[in-house]
A and B are shown apart, each in its own frame.
Chain A
Amino acid sequence: MNSTNGTLFVVVAVVLTFALGMATFLTHYKFKSLVSGLMQSRVLVIGNEIQDNVEKSLSLGLSLQENNTLQGLIERELRSDDLITAIVLSDAAGAVLYSTEPAQQGKKIDKSWLKASSVSKKENWTVNERNAFVAGMPLKNNFGITLGNVALSYSKKPLERSMGIMGNVLQQSALLVLMIAVISASLLLVFAFSRYRKELLAAEEDLAVLIKDLDGVPHQHVQKPADNASPFMQQIHSFIFSVRSTAKEIDSASIPMTTPNSN
């Protein structure tokens, strides 16, 4: 960078880009967890309803396998919210007993679901899949023993859509703010550092004259610093004076014509 102004601009641009980039990034993630939390709680309304129904029938002595109303129940609940893409009822070993997707019937639920269910220790559990989220709830009998799970698969698309829109608005706002902030802060800094820069330019000019002087090139003499010159400029001039007087001292040194041994 050839000037202090350029350096200041780069400093401001890098620092503000970093801070705003990081804040936007973290805020975006904060939004994601907020919106996905709200969506999950929406899905859990349906999940709790199914859980309640199933547990009531379990308490009446009906086993999961022999309750033939459950298929109708999950199909009806699937229609309650567009967000939900599938509902699966499985036994404790992971065998699918009822599902809104006929192809799944009789098969085993995904291993990750079973693992999440066992780790959750009888609490609600979640699995993050490639295209969908899964919210699961244990189905317990009157003795608190888990006999199975109800799992609700819901699409990631609404969340991704919301995040896309939010992300764009955030990014655009951050870019606009960044541009305005970088320009205004740079201008302020240029103004605040103008005296420092002027002094450095003046010092550069005076030092260039000094170098010419030392090289024996004809030049204009350095002007004495003004009385109100800053301590930095006064030091520069003291330096120039010291260099000049040292150069003079060296030039005027008269080498004695005797050998050192003669002393």
Chain B
Amino acid sequence: MNADYIRKLNIKLVGIVTLALIISLSVIIVVSLQLAEKYIVPELKTKAFTQGQVLTTLIGQPLSYQINISELVGVSDLFKGVIEDNPEFGFLAISDVQGKILYHFGDPLVDASAYMSSKGLLNEAGQLVATGGKLKSASLGKHHVVSLPIFSTEHSIIGLLHIGIKASYVQNILNELLLDLAVILVVSLFVAFEVLYFISGGKQSGQFDMLCRTIGAAINNDFTQRGYHAGRDELGRVAALIDAAINKINERYVGLVAKARNSGVLTPEMIPDKVADTIGIKKKIRFGEPGNETQSYSNYLGTLRAPLFLSLMAEDLSRSFIPLFTKQLYVPAKGISAEFILGMPIMVFMLLVAVLQPVLAGWSERIGRKQSLLIGMLTGCFAFVMTANAFSIYDLLLWRALSGVSWAIVFVASQGLILDKATANTRTRDIAFFVGVIMVSSLCGPPIGGILADNLGFRATFYVSAGLSLVAVIVLLRFLEGDTNVSGLVQRKLRLLDIVSVLSNWRFLLLILTAGIPAKIALIGICFYLIPLYVTHLGDSSAMAGRVLMLYGLVMVIGVPIAARISDHMRKRKEFIGVGLILSGITGFFVLLGNNIFVPICIVLLLGLAQAISIAPQTAFVADICNEEITRLGEGTVYGVYRLMERIGNVLGPILAALMLNFFGFKGAFGSIGLLLIVSGIVFAAVFRQSDDFAILATDAEGVEQ
């Protein structure tokens, strides 16, 4: 009953809070858009006025040589250049004092004669320049028009210059702003859910769940367990009363046992199971030690989630701008291309993560999960502070390497903690929870980091990351309980012999070479290296790069579970992998479609979809083709080798992308990675077309890691 009851309560809580969040954030969006409109139009008009002054000065020069205003040459070319430089201007026109249009370039003028011949306009334009007063402008068709006077050498008005600002341009800015605000809404929503989970969801449902387990045990005459009552609210008080009742029963029983001992009925060496029987208790009852009953449930997931999320997000904040930050510190080095150097921080980070993960598993187990999490997070905090103060490319590499060490420790320790604490029944759920944290962090980190970097600067954003790591440490120290391995699982260390043994399975080797490594090359090379550089190359900010990267996380959050379910249901894993690889490859050719922001958006969206399609089937396919190795070495070892090999792609991704970018530019870099993926997909499909799917889909946390 408790699972259903808790689910209903959680749905109510999350549903109402979500509704309140969406409505209130939507109101903020509407207010923001109104505010923006209020500022954009006057600012554009001021710019038009400034441009107008420059133009009227230019036009005034030939007029000073007694050339008639209607006989000017080259005006259209001049206007053309201005409109090309200022896309917000729809048209430029000059009219004489009667309102007759003498020159015009740009959008056609609709119903303009009445406006241009109005006496009031002439007077207003004259006053405007004379007094330097506030601008007045009119709306003409789909334009906001700013009109300035053109003076003769005698300082009388001989014509008017009209600059039309496109209303659609203003609308486009507002639409872009709406998109940005929608991104902010999504990010705020996800972060708010993390806060909700931390302060309420996990604790409340965990406490209630624990209470129900304790009650259930007592109903079955098991008085060895106790609940957990942290609060003084109704739930806390009920839990305390349940505990008190259990305690009283145990005290009463201890009293009876003491009485029996005193009367010599019981001997100290008598086994506990015999005691109840001897003293005349007929029912089969399990009693606990009063005040020292076992706590029936541990809410470790709830308490791990917040520090883990903060720690991962601290790293994800810099995803959208790390190559750009490197660019700031770049100094030419002999024999090494600039593009290669820009990719080095990502490379070093990924290399450390790849190499250290297998090594750290045993270390984290030895020194304790909580301890290693603390070390990892503190190392991260230090690395972020030092990155913020990096003065050259060399020390930046050192601090990024340290960040890689930190990330690997946090990842390994968290995964280890979950495997230690999860029972056979909860393992899949707990690992899925871990995957969820990684996904949400990769979704929220880049856009927030991009906005912060745009406004506070790259270095300040690294300080924010350090702050987040520090908060993670505090939360961890305050809330996470100590280590106990309740699952009884001991993680087996990965040995060289295991790697050789698994790699000698040619189908496994081919899966790694044609799917595992290429998929990671695409993810790291395209998403983390090329996209931030390409977005800024197009003239957009690192905030935009962050928002573009957020789409990857969003597609993955939605797509992975759906694709996993469908591929498992259809039993067509290899087809999903092949299609995913080829789709990933196609994204590389999107750069041929144009040079605007929609290109990286489409690349990231399709790449996210392609990875979502192939990631879970790939993980499950390992079990399909390594049945014998899994029986011999265990699932953990085989997957350990798979992840280790796959991470070669993480390291190769930025190297390959940097080299291609150096030699062939953005089109060549995207295209060559795309081609590699398509070829890999075709080879994969050709090699595995005959194999059968038979394993049950495994849920593996590392499938979505970097």
Contacts and interface: CB of A to CB of B under 8 A. Distances in A.
Interface of A: 1-4, 6-8, 10-12, 14-16, 18-20, 22-24, 26-27, 29-35, 38-39, 41-42, 45-46, 48-49, 76-77, 80-81, 119, 162, 166, 169-170, 173-174, 177-178, 180-182, 184-185, 188-189, 192-193, 196-197, 200-201, 203-204, 207-208, 210-211, 214-215, 230-232, 235-236, 238-239, 242-243, 245-247, 249-251, 253-261
Given A12-B17, A19-B188, A204-B234, A260 B212 contact: no
A214 B9 contact: no
B292 interface: no
A39 B44 CA distance: 9
Given A200-B235, A239-B219, A170 B192 contact: no
Report which residue of A24, A200, A210 has the largest number of chain B beta carbons within 10 angstroms of its beta carbon.
A200
Interface stretch (B28-36, B67-75, B564-572): B28-36
A2 B235 CA distance: 10
B265 A29 contact: no
Given A235-B215, A239-B218, A249-B282, A35 B39 contact: yes
B438 interface: no
Contacts of A33: 454-455, 541, 543
B492 to A, nearest CB: 41
B233 A249 contact: no
Q: 10 tightest CB-CB pairs across the interface, nearest first?
A: A200-B234, A231-B1, A185-B20, A207-B241, A19-B192, A253-B280, A42-B47, A181-B24, A29-B455, A11-B200
Contact of B281 (A10, A76, A239, A249): A249
B448 A26 contact: yes
Interface of B: 1-2, 4-5, 9, 12-13, 16-17, 19-21, 23-25, 27-28, 31-32, 35-36, 39-40, 43-44, 46-47, 50-51, 53-54, 57, 85-86, 173, 177, 180-181, 184-185, 187-189, 191-192, 195-196, 199-200, 204, 212, 215-216, 218-221, 223, 231-235, 237-238, 241-242, 244-246, 248-249, 252-253, 256, 259-260, 263-267, 270, 278-283, 285, 328, 448, 451-452, 454-455, 541, 543
A254 to B, nearest CB: 5
26 contacts: A1-B232, A11-B199, A11-B200, A12-B17, A16-B17, A16-B24, A19-B189, A29-B454, A30-B451, A33-B455, A34-B173, A80-B53, A170-B35, A173-B27, A181-B23, A189-B13, A200-B234, A204-B234, A204-B241, A214-B248, A231-B1, A231-B4, A232-B2, A235-B216, A238-B219, A254-B280
A33 B450 CA distance: 12
Contact of A260 (B1, B86, B270): B270
A49 B455 CA distance: 28
A260 B266 CA distance: 6
B265 A256 contact: yes
A162 B199 CA distance: 37
Contacts of B281: 249-250, 253
B191 A18 contact: yes
- By DSSP majority rule, is chain B's interface helix, strand, loop, or mixed? helix
A22 B25 CA distance: 10
Nearest to B200: A11
Given A31-B36, A214-B249, 10 more contacts: A15-B199, A19-B195, A26-B184, A35-B43, A162-B39, A170-B35, A230-B5, A236-B215, A250-B253, A256-B278
B250 to A, nearest CB: 10
A77 B448 CA distance: 39
A232 B259 CA distance: 37
Given A16-B24, A48-B85, A207-B245, A185 B19 contact: yes
A41 B46 CA distance: 11
